[in-house]
Amino acid sequence: MSSLAQEVRENPMLKLRVEKVVVNIGVGKSGEPLEKAKTVLSLITGSKKVSERKARKTIKEFGIRKKEPIAAVVTLRGSSAKEFLTRAFSAIGKRLKFSSISGRTLSFGIKEHILLPGVKYDPAYGIFGMDISVTFGRPGYRIIYRRRRRSKVGKSAKISEEDVAKYLFEEFGIEVVK
Protein backbone atom coordinates (compact mmCIF):
# COMPACT_ATOMS: atom_id res chain seq x y z
CA MET A 1 0.00 0.00 0.00
CA SER A 2 1.31 3.45 -0.89
CA SER A 3 2.16 5.97 1.77
CA LEU A 4 -0.46 8.41 0.41
CA ALA A 5 -3.22 5.80 0.79
CA GLN A 6 -2.00 5.10 4.33
CA GLU A 7 -2.09 8.81 5.20
CA VAL A 8 -5.59 9.22 3.75
CA ARG A 9 -6.87 6.29 5.77
CA GLU A 10 -5.46 7.86 8.94
CA ASN A 11 -6.60 11.40 8.07
CA PRO A 12 -9.83 11.74 6.03
CA MET A 13 -9.11 15.46 5.49
CA LEU A 14 -6.41 14.43 3.00
CA LYS A 15 -8.88 12.63 0.72
CA LEU A 16 -8.85 14.19 -2.75
CA ARG A 17 -12.12 14.92 -4.57
CA VAL A 18 -13.43 16.58 -7.72
CA GLU A 19 -14.75 20.01 -6.79
CA LYS A 20 -16.00 21.13 -10.19
CA VAL A 21 -15.83 20.43 -13.90
CA VAL A 22 -16.13 23.34 -16.35
CA VAL A 23 -17.04 22.43 -19.94
CA ASN A 24 -16.52 25.17 -22.54
CA ILE A 25 -17.45 25.24 -26.23
CA GLY A 26 -15.92 28.24 -27.96
CA VAL A 27 -17.80 29.09 -31.15
CA GLY A 28 -16.26 32.46 -32.02
CA LYS A 29 -19.49 34.16 -33.06
CA SER A 30 -22.93 34.81 -31.68
CA GLY A 31 -26.29 33.94 -33.17
CA GLU A 32 -27.34 30.54 -34.48
CA PRO A 33 -23.96 28.74 -34.03
CA LEU A 34 -23.88 29.77 -30.37
CA GLU A 35 -27.45 28.59 -29.82
CA LYS A 36 -26.59 25.22 -31.39
CA ALA A 37 -23.51 24.95 -29.14
CA LYS A 38 -25.64 25.71 -26.07
CA THR A 39 -28.11 23.00 -27.08
CA VAL A 40 -25.34 20.45 -27.66
CA LEU A 41 -23.73 21.34 -24.32
CA SER A 42 -26.99 20.89 -22.43
CA LEU A 43 -27.58 17.54 -24.19
CA ILE A 44 -24.17 16.06 -23.40
CA THR A 45 -23.90 17.33 -19.82
CA GLY A 46 -27.54 16.98 -18.80
CA SER A 47 -27.46 20.48 -17.33
CA LYS A 48 -30.22 22.95 -18.09
CA LYS A 49 -28.20 25.99 -17.05
CA VAL A 50 -25.82 26.87 -19.87
CA SER A 51 -24.26 30.32 -19.68
CA GLU A 52 -22.55 32.45 -22.30
CA ARG A 53 -19.08 33.94 -22.25
CA LYS A 54 -18.43 37.27 -23.91
CA ALA A 55 -15.44 38.45 -25.92
CA ARG A 56 -12.94 40.53 -23.93
CA LYS A 57 -11.72 42.59 -26.87
CA THR A 58 -12.45 43.32 -30.51
CA ILE A 59 -10.57 41.27 -33.12
CA LYS A 60 -11.38 42.56 -36.62
CA GLU A 61 -9.69 39.67 -38.44
CA PHE A 62 -12.09 37.18 -36.86
CA GLY A 63 -15.13 39.47 -36.89
CA ILE A 64 -15.41 39.51 -33.10
CA ARG A 65 -16.63 42.59 -31.24
CA LYS A 66 -16.03 43.34 -27.58
CA LYS A 67 -18.76 42.01 -25.23
CA GLU A 68 -20.26 39.83 -27.98
CA PRO A 69 -21.23 36.34 -26.70
CA ILE A 70 -18.87 33.81 -28.32
CA ALA A 71 -18.82 30.71 -26.08
CA ALA A 72 -21.12 28.43 -24.08
CA VAL A 73 -20.09 27.20 -20.61
CA VAL A 74 -21.46 24.72 -18.07
CA THR A 75 -20.16 24.08 -14.54
CA LEU A 76 -20.83 20.63 -13.09
CA ARG A 77 -20.41 19.60 -9.46
CA GLY A 78 -20.95 16.45 -7.44
CA SER A 79 -22.05 13.17 -8.99
CA SER A 80 -22.93 14.73 -12.37
CA ALA A 81 -19.35 16.02 -12.63
CA LYS A 82 -17.87 12.56 -11.94
CA GLU A 83 -20.27 10.90 -14.40
CA PHE A 84 -19.37 13.39 -17.14
CA LEU A 85 -15.65 12.99 -16.41
CA THR A 86 -15.91 9.22 -16.81
CA ARG A 87 -17.43 9.72 -20.27
CA ALA A 88 -14.90 12.41 -21.21
CA PHE A 89 -11.93 10.26 -20.16
CA SER A 90 -13.19 7.35 -22.26
CA ALA A 91 -13.47 9.76 -25.24
CA ILE A 92 -9.76 10.62 -25.01
CA GLY A 93 -8.66 7.02 -24.56
CA LYS A 94 -7.90 7.12 -20.80
CA ARG A 95 -4.48 8.74 -21.39
CA LEU A 96 -3.38 12.22 -20.40
CA LYS A 97 -0.15 14.15 -20.53
CA PHE A 98 1.35 15.12 -17.17
CA SER A 99 1.67 18.68 -18.52
CA SER A 100 -2.16 18.87 -18.55
CA ILE A 101 -2.05 19.04 -14.75
CA SER A 102 -1.20 22.40 -13.23
CA GLY A 103 -1.37 22.57 -9.45
CA ARG A 104 -4.83 21.39 -8.50
CA THR A 105 -6.38 21.80 -11.95
CA LEU A 106 -6.50 19.50 -14.96
CA SER A 107 -7.32 20.79 -18.45
CA PHE A 108 -7.79 18.83 -21.65
CA GLY A 109 -9.78 19.04 -24.85
CA ILE A 110 -12.01 16.86 -26.97
CA LYS A 111 -11.88 17.54 -30.72
CA GLU A 112 -15.42 16.36 -31.50
CA HIS A 113 -18.31 16.04 -29.08
CA ILE A 114 -19.53 12.91 -30.90
CA LEU A 115 -16.53 11.03 -29.44
CA LEU A 116 -18.32 10.98 -26.07
CA PRO A 117 -20.04 7.64 -25.41
CA GLY A 118 -23.79 7.78 -25.96
CA VAL A 119 -23.71 10.87 -28.20
CA LYS A 120 -24.84 10.48 -31.79
CA TYR A 121 -24.20 12.84 -34.68
CA ASP A 122 -27.11 15.14 -35.50
CA PRO A 123 -26.74 17.15 -38.75
CA ALA A 124 -29.04 19.84 -37.35
CA TYR A 125 -26.39 20.80 -34.76
CA GLY A 126 -23.07 19.90 -36.38
CA ILE A 127 -19.84 18.99 -34.58
CA PHE A 128 -18.24 20.99 -31.77
CA GLY A 129 -14.95 20.66 -29.93
CA MET A 130 -14.75 21.43 -26.24
CA ASP A 131 -12.35 22.31 -23.46
CA ILE A 132 -12.73 20.62 -20.09
CA SER A 133 -11.21 21.98 -16.91
CA VAL A 134 -11.33 20.01 -13.65
CA THR A 135 -10.59 21.49 -10.23
CA PHE A 136 -9.62 19.17 -7.38
CA GLY A 137 -9.80 19.88 -3.67
CA ARG A 138 -9.74 18.39 -0.22
CA PRO A 139 -12.11 18.84 2.70
CA GLY A 140 -11.20 22.09 4.38
CA TYR A 141 -10.14 23.94 1.22
CA ARG A 142 -13.06 26.28 1.80
CA ILE A 143 -10.90 28.34 4.17
CA ILE A 144 -9.21 29.91 1.14
CA TYR A 145 -12.47 31.22 -0.33
CA ARG A 146 -14.74 31.95 2.62
CA ARG A 147 -15.53 35.55 3.40
CA ARG A 148 -15.04 35.45 7.16
CA ARG A 149 -11.74 34.35 8.77
CA ARG A 150 -10.06 33.56 5.47
CA SER A 151 -6.87 31.58 5.92
CA LYS A 152 -4.19 29.57 4.13
CA VAL A 153 -4.01 25.84 3.54
CA GLY A 154 -1.22 24.06 5.41
CA LYS A 155 1.71 22.37 3.67
CA SER A 156 0.48 18.85 4.37
CA ALA A 157 -2.93 19.59 2.80
CA LYS A 158 -1.66 21.24 -0.40
CA ILE A 159 -2.38 19.38 -3.62
CA SER A 160 0.53 18.53 -5.91
CA GLU A 161 0.47 17.36 -9.52
CA GLU A 162 1.59 13.92 -8.39
CA ASP A 163 -1.38 13.69 -5.99
CA VAL A 164 -3.75 14.53 -8.86
CA ALA A 165 -2.09 11.95 -11.14
CA LYS A 166 -2.42 9.25 -8.45
CA TYR A 167 -6.05 10.16 -7.83
CA LEU A 168 -6.84 9.97 -11.57
CA PHE A 169 -5.25 6.52 -11.78
CA GLU A 170 -6.99 5.17 -8.67
CA GLU A 171 -10.42 6.71 -9.27
CA PHE A 172 -10.79 6.67 -13.07
CA GLY A 173 -8.02 4.35 -14.31
CA ILE A 174 -6.31 7.17 -16.25
CA GLU A 175 -2.73 6.68 -17.37
CA VAL A 176 -0.81 9.94 -16.91
CA VAL A 177 2.17 10.03 -19.28
CA LYS A 178 5.17 12.23 -18.54
Phi first, then psi, for residue 176 (nearest 5°) are -100, 115
Q: CB of 136 within 8 A of CB of 158?
A: no
- One DSSP character per residue, 116-138 reads STT----TTT----EEEEEEEE-
pLDDT at 28 over 90: no
Read off the pLDDT of residues 18-27 as tens digits, 9 standing for 90 and up: 999 999 999 9
- Find the CATH number of the domain harbouring 172: 3.30.1440.10
Task: Name the helix (H) or strand (E) containing 112.
Answer: none
Read off the pLDDT of residues 133-161 as tens digits, 9 standing for 90 and up: 999 999 888 888 889 999 998 888 889 99
Instruction: State the Cα–Cα distance between residues 162 and 7, nearest whole angstrom.
Output: 15
Instruction: State the Cα–Cα distance between residues 76 and 62, nearest whole angstrom.
Output: 30
Residue 22 belongs to domain spanning? 3-177
Backbone conformation region of residue 105, classed left if phi is above 0, alpha if psi is from -120 to 50, else beta: beta
Q: How many domains does the chain have?
A: 1
pTM score, whole prediction: 0.87
Average of per-residue pLDDT across 29-42:
91
Task: Please give the DSSP secondary-structure letter assigned to residue 94.
Answer: S
